[in-house]
């Protein structure tokens, strides 16, 4: 115990740890101050909690489609799925090329830094904002949603793809270069075969993200699909039972998508 105490006393001052502690303390103080000064407008918390519980109970235990049939809901879900699939497909194709050019072990260092810097800037801007930016030129609708979501998908996948390529053993690349292989042969004979499982895993993850984003874009950008139906049910109709039914439909599809992705990745691992 004495040795531990002496080590703690001799531990050097860590500026990073101190900055994190001060930041957390400031956030805690600001949170308490906000709760103390917030204008609650005579809200009855007990009534609000009971009302919320009743709404949740109605939504998830009494789901019912009223303003559209089950077949229509499935069709709209397929539209949302198509939007996510297109953006993921376009993004993966473009990102594969840019990812190879952004990998440090396969490209010029200056070109790699330029591409990584550009995609980092694109990633920093939310997808919704990119969709709205492109909506100025293309108008609100599925076109702007596809372009904006593809733009953000490319930036996400370039980072993940390039990092997967950079994990390749340098000795393999040097051996291929010594045998006279050119850049294209190195990519198709060594880089892609060794990284295919990672590429598919990241692509499926981005597809799941794009599916969730496509739901929001159905309402925010007028892209249609099941997201627009949920927006109408939650704001125009305010039918919590229909919101619950749509939520269950989306959740069922998300689970099936995850199971399918897991099987494909497992099969690829066995083949590898």
Identify which of 272, 260, 202 has the alpha carbon closest to the alpha carbon of residue 81.
260
Give the mean pLDDT of 239-260: 88
1-15, 108-122, 218-232: which range is least confident on average? 1-15
Q: Looking at residues 108-118, what average pLDDT do you find?
A: 90
Please say whether the dihedral angle defined by the alpha carbons of residues 80, 83, 89 and 93, taken in this order, is positive or negative. negative
Considering only residues 96 and 197, tell me which one the structure prediction assigns the higher pLDDT: 96
Please give the structure tokens belonging to residue 208: 């799941």
What's the confidence (pLDDT) of residue 159? 92
pLDDT exceeds 50 at position 155: yes
Instruction: Give the model confidence (pLDDT) of 60-69 as tens digits.
Output: 898 888 888 8
Q: What is the pLDDT of residues 254-264, one digit of tens each?
A: 888 888 877 87
Over range 98-116, report the average pLDDT.
Answer: 89
Phi/psi zone of residue 139: left (φ > 0), alpha (ψ -120 to 50 degrees), beta?
A: left
pLDDT of residue 271: 62
- Mean pLDDT for all residues in the chain: 84
> Is residue 98 scored above 90 in pLDDT?
yes
Cβ count within 10 A of residue 212: 14
Q: How confident is the model at residue 7 (pLDDT cuts 50, 70, 90)?
A: very low
Query: Does residue 42 surpass a pLDDT of 80?
Result: no
pLDDT-derived band at 25 (thresholds 50, 70, 90) equals very high
Q: So what's the pLDDT on residue 93?
A: 94
Helix or strand or coil: residue 130? helix
Torsion of CA 8, 11, 16, 21, to 10 degrees: 20
Question: Structural domains in the chain?
Answer: 70-271 (1.10.3720.10)
pLDDT at 114: 92
Cβ burial 223-245 (10 Å sphere, 16+ → b, else e):
bbbbbbbbbbbeeeeebbbbbbb
Categorize the per-residue pLDDT at 97 as very low, low, confident or very high, splitting at 50, 70 and 90: very high
pLDDT number for residue 13: 56
Residue 91, pLDDT score: 94
- How high is the pLDDT of residue 5? 53
Residue whose structure tokens are 């969730």 = 212
Q: What is the mean pLDDT of residues 85-103?
A: 92
Q: How confident is the model at residue 269 (pLDDT cuts 50, 70, 90)?
A: low
């Amino acid at each position: 115990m004495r040795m531990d105490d002496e080590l703690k006393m001799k531990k050097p001052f860590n500026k990073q740890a101190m900055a994190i502690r001060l930041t957390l303390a400031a956030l805690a103080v600001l949170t308490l101050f906000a709760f103390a000064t917030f204008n609650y407008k005579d809200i009855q918390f007990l009534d609000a909690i009971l009302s919320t519980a009743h709404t949740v109970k109605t939504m998830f235990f009494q789901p019912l489609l009223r303003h559209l049939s089950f077949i229509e809901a499935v069709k709209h879900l397929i539209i949302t799925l198509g939007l996510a699939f297109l953006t993921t497909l376009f993004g993966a194709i473009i990102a594969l090329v840019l990812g190879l050019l952004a990998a440090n072990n396969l490209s010029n260092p200056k070109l790699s830094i330029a591409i990584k810097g550009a995609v980092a800037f694109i990633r920093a801007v939310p997808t919704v904002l990119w969709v709205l930016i492109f909506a100025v030129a293309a108008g609100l609708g599925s076109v702007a949603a596809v372009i904006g979501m593809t733009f953000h998908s490319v930036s996400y996948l370039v980072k993940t793809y390039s990092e997967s390529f950079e994990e390749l053993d340098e000795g393999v690349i040097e051996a291929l270069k010594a045998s006279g292989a050119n850049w294209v042969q190195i990519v198709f004979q060594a880089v892609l075969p060794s990284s295919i499982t990672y590429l598919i895993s990241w692509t499926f993850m981005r597809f799941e993200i794009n599916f969730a984003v496509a739901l929001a874009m159905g309402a925010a950008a007028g892209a249609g699909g099941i997201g627009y139906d949920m927006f109408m049910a939650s704001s125009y109709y305010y039918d919590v039972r229909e919101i619950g039914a749509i939520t269950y439909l989306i959740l069922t599809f998300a689970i099936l998508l995850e199971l399918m992705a897991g099987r494909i990745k497992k099969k690829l691992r066995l083949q590898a």
